[in-house]
Amino acid sequence: MPRTIHVLTGCTAVGKTELALRWAEAHGAEIVSCDSLLFYRGADIGTAKPTPAELARVPHHLIDVCGITERMDVTYYVTKARAVVDEIHQRGRPVLVTGGSGFYLKSFFAPVADEVAVPPELRAEVRARLEAKGLEHLVAELGKLNPAGLGALDVRNPRRVTRALERCLASGRTLAVLQAEFAALPSPFADCTVKLCELVRELPDLEARIDRRVGAMLEAGLVAEVRTLVAQGLKQNPSAAGAIGYRETIDFLEGGVPALSQSNGPEKELAAAIAQNTRALVRKQRTWFRTQLPEHPRLDAASTGLTQLHASFGT
Give, in words, the CATH class of 204-283: mainly alpha
Asked if the model's pLDDT at residue 261 lies above 50, the reply is no
Confidence tier at 167 by pLDDT (50, 70, 90): very high
Burial class (CB in 10 A: 0-12, 13-18, 19+), 144: exposed
pLDDT at 243 (0 to 100) = 94
Task: Enumerate the CATH 1.10.287.890 domain ranges in the chain, comma separated.
Answer: 204-283
Confidence tier at 117 by pLDDT (50, 70, 90): confident
Burial class (CB in 10 A: 0-12, 13-18, 19+), 185: middle
In angstroms, rounded to a whole number, what is the distance separating the alpha carbons of residues 150 and 156? 12
Domain 3-112+189-201+295-313 adopts which CATH fold?
Answer: Rossmann fold (3.40.50)
CB 294 within 8 A of CB 107: no
Mean pLDDT of 120-134: 92
CB 28 within 8 A of CB 35: no
pLDDT at 25 (0 to 100) = 97
Confidence tier at 258 by pLDDT (50, 70, 90): low
* Percentage with pLDDT > 70 across the chain: 96
Task: Enumerate the CATH 1.10.20.140 domain ranges in the chain, comma separated.
Answer: 120-183
CB 63 within 8 A of CB 39: yes
Write the CATH number of the domain with boundaries 120-183.
Answer: 1.10.20.140
Confidence tier at 305 by pLDDT (50, 70, 90): confident
Intra-chain end-to-end CA distance of the chain, in Å: 15
In angstroms, rounded to a whole number, what is the distance separating the alpha carbons of residues 76 and 84? 12
